Structure 1
Amino acid sequence: MKQEQSSRREKRNGPPLRRSAGSVRLPFPEWIGDYRAAWLRPDIIAGLTLAAVVIPKALAYATIAGLPVQVGLYTAFVPMLIYALLGSSRVLSVSTTTTIAILVAAALGGVASANDPASLLTASATLTCLVGAILIVARLLRLGFIANFISEPVLIGFKAGIGIVIVVDQVPKLLGIHFQKGALFHNLLAIVHEIPQTSWATVAVGAVMIVLLVAMERFLPRAPAPLVAVAAGIAAVKLFALPAYGVATVGHVPTGLPPFTPPDLQMVTMLWPPALGIALMSFTESIAAGRAFAQSGEPTPQPNRELLSTGLANLGGAFFGAMAAGGGTTQTAVNRLSGGRSQLSGLVTSLAALGTMLVLAPLIGLMPEATLAAVVIVYSIGLIKPAEFREILKVRRTEFIWALVALVGVAVVGTLEGIVVAIIVSLAALAHQMSDPPVYVLGRKPGTNVFRPRSTDNPADETFPGLLMLRPQGRIFFANAMRVGEKLRLLIAEPKPKVVVLDLSAVFDFEYTALKMLTDAERKIREEQGVVLWLVGLNPDVLAMVRRCPLGEALGNDRMFFNMDMAVARYQTDQAHD
C-alpha cells in the first residue's frame, strides 16, 4: 500500500533528486535530497511573492526596533538563508516579527542611544547573538517542550497587548509629530498634547497608504500589498516632492553587503535577561507558525530541531547586521498560499533580499516614514483579535481573565516584563488547575451501564440508596491531596451513605502523600461513621501502589473492582441478602 502511494506521489510531483536509499548521505540539507522537480516552479513563484511581502515588512519592523532601516534587509537575508538550509518546516518564513521587533526596541533602549547608530548596531548584534546562543543551548538541553508552557489564552492576550503598544508607537509617524518616547500611557498623553503640531501632508500620505493596504488585503489578498504601498510611497515622493511639504522620508540606505558586526561582550550582562524573553517568543512563534501551516504528508516541525535551526539563524545573522529573528505567521501564510512546497522558496526570498541590498537600496531611502508606519499598523492591528477574547469568554471565564492580565501586563508594565507576566500567569493557571481537581458525584444513565456526573440536565439518572459514587479527576499528589480530601469529606457528610465507591479511572497518578491521605480517610470514615470505601477502575500503576500500602491490606480484593458496573451489581446483591 505504501509503495503504491509513493508511486502515485512520484507521478504527481516527479521523482526525488536523491532516490537511492542505499546511497551515501550527501553533505547538504536532507530536504535537498528529497526535492522533487515539480516543486521548482511553484517554489520560485512563492519565494518571489514572499519577498514582495517580507522585505517591506522587515524594513518597517527595523524601524519599530529603533534600528536603521537597512537592518530589515539584513534580517530578511541572513536568517532566512540559514533557516532555509537547516529548518525542519518546509514553508516557515524566518526573518522578524512585530512581537520580536517591539521586544528588541525595549531591550536596546536601555543600553544604546538612538543618536549613536554604531552603538545601536553593536548592541543589536550582541542581543541577536545571545538569542541565538540561548536557543542553541536550549536545543542541547532538549527544552523544546517549553513551547507548551504559555497557554493559548495568555498568548492571545500577550499578542493583543503587543499590538496595542506597536500601534500607539507608530501613530506619531502617521501624524508627523515628534516627542520623547516612554511607556504606553506617556505616549498616549504626548500624542494628544502634540496633535496641534500635526503635519497634514504626512497624515494624507499615511491615510492613503492605510486605505490602499486594507483595500488590497480585502479585495486582492494574493497581491503583494506591502510592496505596492512602498512603491506608491516612493513614486509619490518623486512626483510630488513630498519632503517640501514636511513629509519625512527614510533617508540614506547603504548599498552593498551587510557589514561584519561583532558583538560586545561588555553588553552581555545587560542584555541576557531580555534575550531570554526574545528567545522564548522567537521559538514560540516559530513552532506555532510551522505547525499551523504543515500540510498532511509533510514532516511536522520538530521542536528541538527548530531550536537549533532558529538559534543558528540568529547566531549567523548577528555577525552580519541582522536583528533578532523568528518565524512569522503572516509571512508563512503568504508562502503557503503562494504555492510554496519546500525550503527553496525561503532561499529565493533570501536572494531577493540580497538583490535589493545591492541594487534597490537607494530607492528605499526615498520611502516616506508614514508609508512604513502604515505597513506596520495594518499588519500589527491583526494581533488584536476581539473575536478570540469573546471565544475564550464563551468557553471559560477564568481563562478570559488570564488573557486580560497578559494584555494589561504588556501595556502597563512593558513588553519585556509582559513576557514574565505571561509566563507567570500561565504557570499560575496550570498550578491552579492542578491544585483543585474536580470530584464528581455519579449517576447511571437509565437502561445503560454508563456512569456520568450528575447534573440538572439529566435528572432521571439512577442513584442507589446508601451508595455514593464519586469520581475524582486528574493527577492527585501532595499539592492537591488536601483539597481533594476536603471535597470528599463534604460529599460524604451530606448523604451519609453506607458505601462510598471511589472511581479512580480518571486518576492517572496517585502520589504517596495522596495515598496516605486516602488511607487515613478510609480508616476514619470506617471507624467513626461506619462508612465502607470501595475502589473502582484503578490503572495498573495505581493498583500496584495501593496493594503495596496499608490501604491495600485494609480493602483486600473484595473492595476493589474492575469497573463501576461490577461495584453496583455487588452492592445490589449485598443489599438483597440483607
Structure 2
Amino acid sequence: MPTLAIALVTLALLAFMVWRLPRAPAPLIAVALGVAAVALLDLPARGVEIVGRVPTGLPAVMLPDLSMVATLWPSALGIALMSFTETIAAGRAFAHEREPPPQPNRELLATGLANAGGALLGAMVAGGGTSQTAVNQRAGARSQLAALVTAGAALGTMLLLAPVIGLMPNATLAAVVIVYSIGLIDPAEFRAIRKIRRMEFVWALVAMAGVVGLGTLQGILVAIIVSLLALAYQAADPPLYVLARKRGTNVFRPLSPEHAGDEVFAGLLILRPEGRVFFANARRLGQRMRQHVTEDMPRVVLLDLSGVIDLEYTALKMLIEAERALGEQGVSLWLAGLNPEVLAMVRRAALADALGAHRMFATLEQALVRFQSPETSSPAASSS
C-alpha cells in the first residue's frame, strides 16, 4: 500500500503540473519529493523499494578482453541490432514534422561510436530510448544541448549526488516514465492505419502486444519478424492485373467493374505483373498467367513489364518456357515496357532471339498498334 500510495501521488502531481504548470521541471520536483519522503518517513522499512546504491566517482579505463569475443559475439550482435532498432524507431517517432527525418546510417554510426567509447569506461550499452526521449521532450529538450546537460548532470550525480539518487523510490521513477510516455499511445493512429491498410494494422497490434507482454526490445524484435514474414508472403504472391484501355486515351489500367467502358481487344490479353519476379514467386505467377490464358484463349499475350523492377534468372527461364509452350498452342507472347536492367537481361538470354524485335515494344501503345496492323490481324500471322 505505501508503494501504491507513492505511485498515485506522483502520478497525480505530474499530471497536475503538466496541465497547470507546463514550464515547471515536473520530473525534478517529483524526484525531489520522492527522495524527501524516503528520508523523512523511512519508506524502505514500510516495503517501498528504492533505487539503492549508485556507484560514485569517475569510472576507470577498462581495456577489452579479446578472449571473450567468441563467447559474447552472438549476444552482442543481438543487442546491437535491437539497440539500433529502438534508436531509429525513437528518432522517427519524436522527429518534428518540420525537421529532416533521421538518417539510419548516421544514427548507426553515432550509436557505434558511443558504444565504442563507453566500452572503454565500462558503460552499459548505449542507444536511443523512447521513455528517456519522451521525458526529455516534455521537459523542453529541442537540441543536442539537452544531451550535454544530461551528461553534465550524470557526471555531477556520479561525483556528488549518487547517495541522494539512491534514495529515489522505484515507484516515483516508474510514474515519471508513465506520465511522459503515455503520449506515445495514439488510438487515432491505430484507426487511421486500420482504415488504410489492415495488414499494417495487424503489425501495429502485434508490436504493441509484444512490447506490453515481452518488453520494448523483445516487442520490437517480434514486430520485425512479423513484418518480414508478411513482406515475404506478399513477395511470394505479387499482383497480376488484366489491363484494358481507357476509351479515347492511351491510358491502360486494370480491368474492373468501375471502368466497365474500358476497351478490350479480341484476341489480345494484356497482363501486368508488378514487383520483383524471382524464384519464390515465379512459379505462382506463371500459374496465374496460364489460368488467364486458358480462360481468355487469346491469339497474343502481351506482358507489360513496366512494373517489374527485377527479373531473376528463374523467372526469365519461366518466360522462355512459357513462350515455347504458348507457341505450341498457337499463342504469341509479346513483351512491352521493359526497364533497362530487365531489357538487358532478356537480351542476354535466348528469349530475345526467340521473340525478335517485332515482339518487344517500348510501350503498350506501340504493341497495340502492331496488333491492330494488317500483318498481325489474322491468326496465322499472329502466331508466326
TM-score normalised per structure 2: 0.82
Residues 267 and 371 from structure 1, CA distance in 2 versus in 1: closer, same or farther, beyond 3 angstroms? farther
In structure 2, which of residues 95, 102, 109 is the aligned counterpart of residue 308 of structure 1? 109
Say whether the 8 Å CA contact 1:277–1:416 is kept in structure 2. Answer: no
Aligned twin of 1:513: 314
Residues 255 and 414 from structure 1, CA distance in 2 versus in 1: closer, same or farther, beyond 3 angstroms? closer
Say whether the 8 Å CA contact 2:83–2:217 is kept in structure 1. Answer: no
Q: Distance in 2 between matches of 1:455 and 1:226?
A: 58
TM superposition shift of 1:361: 2.7
Q: Does 1:371 align with 2:371?
A: no
Aligned twin of 2:57: 256
TM superposition shift of 1:517: 0.9
Q: Does 1:504 align with 2:305?
A: yes
Aligned twin of 2:95: 293
Residues 539 and 269 from structure 1, CA distance in 2 versus in 1: closer, same or farther, beyond 3 angstroms? closer
Aligned twin of 2:147: 346
In structure 2, which of residues 370, 373, 380 is the aligned counterpart of residue 573 of structure 1? 373
Q: Distance in 1 between matches of 2:235 and 2:38?
A: 60
Alpha-carbon RMSD: 3.5
My pick for the range that moved more, 477-486 or 249-258, is 249-258
Unmatched tracts of structure 1, length 5 or more? 1-199
Residues 490 and 214 from structure 1, CA distance in 2 versus in 1: closer, same or farther, beyond 3 angstroms? farther
Aligned twin of 1:465: 266
Q: In the alignment, residue 523 of structure 1 is paired with which amino acid?
A: R
Q: Distance in 2 between matches of 1:467 and 1:222?
A: 70
Q: In the alignment, residue 516 of structure 1 is paired with which amino acid?
A: K
Question: Structure 1, residues 237-267: CA drift from partner, whole Å, max 9, x if none?
Answer: 4555545654443344444334556777787
1:443 counterpart SS class: strand
Say whether the 8 Å CA contact 1:213–1:225 is kept in structure 2. Answer: yes
Q: Distance in 2 between matches of 1:274 and 1:380?
A: 28
Residues 519 and 204 from structure 1, CA distance in 2 versus in 1: closer, same or farther, beyond 3 angstroms? same
Q: Distance in 1 between matches of 2:47 and 2:149?
A: 38
Q: Distance in 2 between matches of 1:394 and 1:210?
A: 34
Q: Distance in 1 between matches of 2:213 and 2:170?
A: 27
Residues 558 and 330 from structure 1, CA distance in 2 versus in 1: closer, same or farther, beyond 3 angstroms? same
Aligned twin of 1:54: none
1:468 counterpart SS class: strand
1:505 counterpart SS class: coil
Say whether the 8 Å CA contact 1:468–1:497 is kept in structure 2. Answer: yes
2:277 counterpart SS class: coil
Q: Distance in 2 between matches of 1:277 and 1:226?
A: 32
TM superposition shift of 1:379: 4.4
My pick for the range that moved more, 362-371 or 390-399, is 390-399
Q: Distance in 2 between matches of 1:524 and 1:459?
A: 32
Say whether the 8 Å CA contact 1:277–1:419 is kept in structure 2. Answer: no
Aligned twin of 1:359: 160
1:475 counterpart SS class: strand
Q: Does 1:209 align with 2:6?
A: no
Which has the bigger relative contact order, CA under 8 A and spacing at least 6? 1
Say whether the 8 Å CA contact 1:502–1:534 is kept in structure 2. Answer: yes
Q: Does 1:325 align with 2:122?
A: no
Q: Distance in 2 between matches of 1:286 and 1:511?
A: 35
Question: Structure 1, residues 168-214: CA drift from partner, whole Å, max 9, x if none?
Answer: xxxxxxxxxxxxxxxxxxxxxxxxxxxxxxxx222111111122233
2:296 counterpart SS class: coil
Q: Distance in 1 between matches of 2:60 and 2:124?
A: 13
Question: Structure 1, residues 343-382: CA drift from partner, whole Å, max 9, x if none?
Answer: 4442233112212333333332332232123223334555
Q: Distance in 2 between matches of 1:295 and 1:396?
A: 22
Q: Distance in 2 between matches of 1:375 and 1:315?
A: 30
TM superposition shift of 1:543: 1.9
In structure 1, which of residues 547, 555, 567 is the aligned counterpart of residue 355 of structure 2? 555
**Greater Rg over alpha carbons, structure:** 2
Question: Structure 1, residues 310-340: CA drift from partner, whole Å, max 9, x if none?
Answer: 2232233244453222123465564698464
Aligned twin of 1:541: 341
Percent identity reads 64
TM superposition shift of 1:507: 0.9
Residues 385 and 256 from structure 1, CA distance in 2 versus in 1: closer, same or farther, beyond 3 angstroms? same
Q: Distance in 2 between matches of 1:337 and 1:561?
A: 61
TM superposition shift of 1:401: 3.6
Aligned twin of 2:242: 441
TM-score normalised per structure 1: 0.57
TM superposition shift of 1:438: 0.8
Q: In the alignment, residue 548 of structure 1 is paired with which amino acid?
A: R
Question: Structure 1, residues 276-332: CA drift from partner, whole Å, max 9, x if none?
Answer: 22211221232344466378687x755444333322322332444532221234655
Unmatched tracts of structure 2, length 5 or more? 379-384
Residues 402 and 243 from structure 1, CA distance in 2 versus in 1: closer, same or farther, beyond 3 angstroms? closer
What is the total number of aligned residue pairs between the two structures? 376
Aligned twin of 1:226: 27
Q: Does 1:532 align with 2:332?
A: yes
Say whether the 8 Å CA contact 1:237–1:366 is kept in structure 2. Answer: yes
In structure 2, which of residues 257, 265, 286 is the aligned counterpart of residue 485 of structure 1? 286
- In the TM superposition, 1:361-440 aligns within 5 A as 361-379=162-180, 385-406=186-207, 421-440=222-241
Say whether the 8 Å CA contact 2:210–2:219 is kept in structure 1. Answer: yes
Residues 404 and 438 from structure 1, CA distance in 2 versus in 1: closer, same or farther, beyond 3 angstroms? same
